[in-house]
């Protein structure tokens, strides 16, 4: 009987590493749909009995006997010592068991192992690892992080949209593999200077940043606009404000090598509109309060607290007939609908807004439309209206004066007592028949002319870093929700280094941890972007972090020819 058990044990060892079931939490994994080549041999995942896996954007290899030896590893398991992974003295050619059937890109469940693990003689606390050893279909799976793959075992790997993942463990035509560069969803703890990307000037790295007692995984993209080979810009998700789309679809439509989600937007009430300042192609699309913002003008970028509004001066009609009276107005919002009851802003909608204009169910007020530059008579708000005019100006009831007519001034040439207060209101400046004019106004805390000439502005906030130190001021920027102010959550952020290099990250952290991360990455200035289910990052044709919902706007970088 003992002899039979010994023979069975040897058979299992020669087939795969299958330690006893000692597992902790489930780990949601996917089967990659990108091409993988190991030592010059194409790896088949769709029909593999033990396919490659992706967990937290890191690729995992099954530790079958042949594949572990093809990677130049030897594995040993005992009940007392657990699993030991060492660099082997020799390697085997790649052979696969293709007796399986898998759905590429589909989600599966693996297990985080709890038995002792040593890698290269180092004890691994698997429960605390960001990328732990996993078990899937009773096979041990090993993560291809930079720390293990490159530093400890000396493998070479590269990732590109065209070639997928290429791994060299040292056995290729009898020689060691040539030096290659790292990109895509695999590297970890990599200095930014050691990474390359779709173009010189654009880099990607997976890093682990120590903040206090926490080691936080961070996806980092840097972009040097000054070389002239990259174009960074803010974009809408669709043709109009309020439309949403998947970040990947936005990136591919824009021919972008990189994309990250932009500012906050209404994701819960069906409007889909950005909630803060957004300038696209040099045109103000939506207005917002005094929040941390990223601005881009050609090869220059700035970060500051920025607010925006629209103002104007209507002319003609009564304004020509009464010399002391002018049609100036200011401080209106643009393309940001009155979603919540009690919102008393005056809002202008232009043709960049979606095809239907709506407001909260209890909203009451007055509407002016502008066509051909001429202001119409006031009409009561009816609950919804087609966005067919050049401009639609919506006054809440608190700022409306139905039944009063500014044109009475034209007939009398003097103030009428009943209109004495009314004629100075913004509502009175929208006199029927007068000519409409509007201009945007962006105001930055540190001043300067940069913001008025910026091609792109994405206001989100809060501001994280100024002059290389933490600069979070939740009161100044009126952030009060715990999911933003104090909770650990999915985050996206933008920063600028002392040399003017853009730094973009996605991670899971608190707001203050996010600021600390940006400072460690060399940011002189940084701002938070939208996060939670909106947080996402696209790089070199693939999603590094996929948002949990469609988004309304993004920041993209295109590699120029």
Could you write out the DSSP letters of every residue in 129-176?
-SS--EEETTEEEEE--HIIIIIIT--EEEEETTTEEEEE-S-BTTBP
User: What confidence score (pLDDT) does residue 420 get?
Assistant: 60
- 115 against 469, higher pLDDT: 469
The answer to whether 215 and 208 are in contact (CB under 8 A) is yes
Q: Are 245 and 356 in the same domain?
A: no
248 sits in which H/E element: helix 247-253
Q: Are 451 and 369 in the same domain?
A: no
The answer to whether 142 and 131 are in contact (CB under 8 A) is no
Alpha helix (H) residue ranges in 428-549: 482-485, 511-520
Give the residues across from 334 on adjacent strands.
348
Indicate whether 538 belongs to any domain. Answer: yes
User: What confidence score (pLDDT) does residue 43 get?
Assistant: 79
469 sits in which H/E element: strand 469-470
The whole-angstrom separation of Cα 535 and Cα 332 is: 30
Indicate whether 198 belongs to any domain. Answer: no
Indicate whether 93 belongs to any domain. Answer: yes
Q: Are 45 and 156 in the same domain?
A: yes
User: What confidence score (pLDDT) does residue 398 get?
Assistant: 92
Q: Are 229 and 266 in the same domain?
A: yes
The confidence band for 81, taking pLDDT boundaries of 50, 70 and 90, is: confident
Indicate whether 547 belongs to any domain. Answer: yes
Q: Is 354 helix (H, G, I), strand (E, B) or coil?
A: coil
The whole-angstrom separation of Cα 495 and Cα 517 is: 11
User: What confidence score (pLDDT) does residue 175 get?
Assistant: 33
- Strand 82-87 versus strand 117-119 pairing type: parallel
Q: Are 336 and 426 in the same domain?
A: yes
Q: Are 363 and 281 in the same domain?
A: no
Q: What mean pLDDT, rounded, does the chain reach?
A: 84
Q: Are 34 and 164 in the same domain?
A: yes
At 36-69, the pLDDT tens digits run 887 777 777 888 888 889 888 888 888 887 788 7
Q: Is the pLDDT of residue 20 over 80?
A: no
Look up the pTM and report it. 0.68
User: What confidence score (pLDDT) does residue 182 get?
Assistant: 29
The whole-angstrom separation of Cα 467 and Cα 487 is: 25
User: What confidence score (pLDDT) does residue 509 get?
Assistant: 94
The whole-angstrom separation of Cα 148 and Cα 542 is: 23
Q: Are 161 and 40 in the same domain?
A: yes
The confidence band for 355, taking pLDDT boundaries of 50, 70 and 90, is: very high
User: What confidence score (pLDDT) does residue 89 get?
Assistant: 67
User: What confidence score (pLDDT) does residue 38 get?
Assistant: 78
Instruction: Of 55, 127, 490, 456, give the one whose Cα is nearest residue 277.
Output: 456
User: What confidence score (pLDDT) does residue 199 get?
Assistant: 54
Residue where a domain stops, chosen among 169, 187, 217: 169
What average pLDDT does range 223-245 have in this prediction?
Answer: 95
The confidence band for 153, taking pLDDT boundaries of 50, 70 and 90, is: confident
User: What confidence score (pLDDT) does residue 532 get?
Assistant: 92
Q: Is the pLDDT of residue 339 over 80?
A: yes
Q: Are 454 and 536 in the same domain?
A: yes
What average pLDDT does range 57-82 have in this prediction?
Answer: 80
Q: Is the pLDDT of residue 503 over 90?
A: yes
Indicate whether 158 belongs to any domain. Answer: yes
Would you state the structure tokens that stand for residue 3, as one six-digit string? 């002899």
- 275's CB contacts (< 8 A; 6+ apart) are 263, 264, 265, 266, 286, 288, 336
Residue where a domain stops, chosen among 389, 416, 441: 441
What average pLDDT does range 458-486 have in this prediction?
Answer: 95
Q: Are 260 and 376 in the same domain?
A: no
Q: Are 122 and 63 in the same domain?
A: yes
At 266-297, the pLDDT tens digits run 998 989 999 999 999 999 999 999 999 999 99
- Across 48-52, 203-207, 395-399, 451-455, least confident range: 48-52
The confidence band for 105, taking pLDDT boundaries of 50, 70 and 90, is: confident
Residue where a domain stops, chosen among 420, 441, 462: 441
Say what percent of the chain tops pLDDT 90. 56
Q: Is the pLDDT of residue 12 over 90?
A: no
Say what percent of the chain tops pLDDT 70. 86
Indicate whether 499 belongs to any domain. Answer: yes
Indicate whether 182 belongs to any domain. Answer: no
Query: Residue 260 sits in which domain range?
Result: 205-306+443-559
Give the residues across from 259 on adjacent strands.
538, 556
The whole-angstrom separation of Cα 403 and Cα 405 is: 6
What average pLDDT does range 467-477 have in this prediction?
Answer: 96
Q: Is the pLDDT of residue 247 over 80?
A: yes
Indicate whether 15 belongs to any domain. Answer: no
The H helix count followed by the E strand count for the chain is: 8, 40
Q: Is the pLDDT of residue 194 over 80?
A: no
Q: Are 150 and 280 in the same domain?
A: no
- Across 120-134, 183-197, 306-320, least confident range: 183-197
Tally of structural domains, the chain: 3
């Amino acid at each position: 009987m003992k002899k039979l058990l010994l023979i069975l044990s040897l058979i299992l060892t020669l087939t795969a590493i299958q330690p006893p079931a000692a597992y902790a939490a489930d780990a949601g994994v996917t089967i990659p749909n990108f091409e993988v080549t190991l030592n010059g041999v194409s790896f088949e995942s769709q029909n593999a009995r033990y396919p490659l896996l992706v967990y937290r954007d890191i690729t995992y290899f099954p530790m079958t006997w042949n594949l572990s030896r093809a990677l130049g590893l030897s594995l040993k398991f005992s009940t007392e010592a657990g699993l030991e992974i060492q660099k082997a003295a020799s390697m085997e050619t790649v052979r696969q068991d293709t007796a399986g059937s898998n759905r590429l890109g589909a989600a599966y469940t693996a297990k985080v192992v709890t038995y002792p693990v040593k890698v290269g003689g180092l004890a691994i606390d698997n429960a605390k690892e960001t990328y732990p050893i996993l078990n899937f279909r009773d096979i041990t799976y090993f993560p291809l992080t930079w720390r293990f793959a490159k530093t400890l075992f000396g493998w070479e790997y590269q990732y590109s949209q065209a070639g997928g993942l290429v791994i060299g463990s040292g056995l290729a035509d009898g020689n060691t593999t040539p030096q290659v560069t790292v990109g895509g969803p695999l590297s970890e703890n990599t200095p930014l200077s050691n990474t390359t990307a779709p173009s010189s000037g654009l880099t990607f790295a997976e890093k682990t940043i120590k903040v206090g007692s926490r080691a936080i995984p961070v996806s980092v993209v840097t972009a040097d606009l000054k070389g002239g080979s990259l174009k960074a810009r803010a974009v809408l998700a669709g043709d109009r404000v309020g439309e949403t789309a998947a970040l990947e679809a936005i990136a591919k439509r824009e021919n972008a090598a990189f994309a990250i989600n932009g500012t906050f937007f209404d994701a819960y009430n069906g409007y889909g509109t950005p909630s803060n300042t957004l300038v696209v192609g040099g045109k103000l699309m939506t207005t917002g309060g005094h929040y941390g913002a990223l601005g881009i003008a050609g090869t220059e970028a700035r970060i500051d607290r920025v607010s925006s509004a629209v103002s104007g001066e209507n002319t003609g009609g009564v304004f020509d007939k009464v010399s002391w009276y002018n049609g100036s107005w200011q401080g209106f919002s643009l393309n940001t609908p009155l979603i919540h009851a009690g919102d008393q802003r005056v809002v202008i909608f232009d043709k960049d807004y979606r095809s239907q204009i709506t407001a909260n169910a209890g909203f009451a007020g007055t509407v002016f439309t502008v066509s051909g530059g001429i202001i119409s008579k006031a009409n009561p708000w009816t609950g919804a209206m087609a966005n067919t005019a050049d401009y639609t100006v919506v006054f809440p009831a608190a700022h409306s004066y139905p039944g009063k007519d500014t044109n009475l001034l034209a007939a009398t040439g003097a103030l009428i007592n009943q209109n004495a207060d009314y004629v100075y209101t913004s509502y009175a400046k929208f006199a029927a028949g007068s000519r409409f004019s509007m201009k945007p106004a962006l105001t930055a805390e540190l001043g300067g002319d940069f913001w008025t000439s910026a091609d792109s502005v994405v206001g989100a906030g809060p501001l994280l870093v100024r002059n290389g130190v933490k600069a979070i001021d939740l009161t100044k920027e009126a952030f009060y929700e715990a999911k933003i102010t104090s909770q650990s959550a999915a985050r996206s952020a933008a920063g600028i280094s002392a040399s003017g290099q853009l730094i973009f990250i996605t991670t899971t952290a608190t707001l203050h941890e996010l600021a600390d991360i940006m400072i460690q990455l060399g940011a002189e200035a940084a701002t938070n972007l939208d996060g939670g289910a909106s947080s996402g990052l696209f790089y070199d044709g693939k999603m590094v972090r996929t948002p949990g919902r469609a988004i309304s706007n993004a920041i993209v970088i295109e590699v120029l020819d």
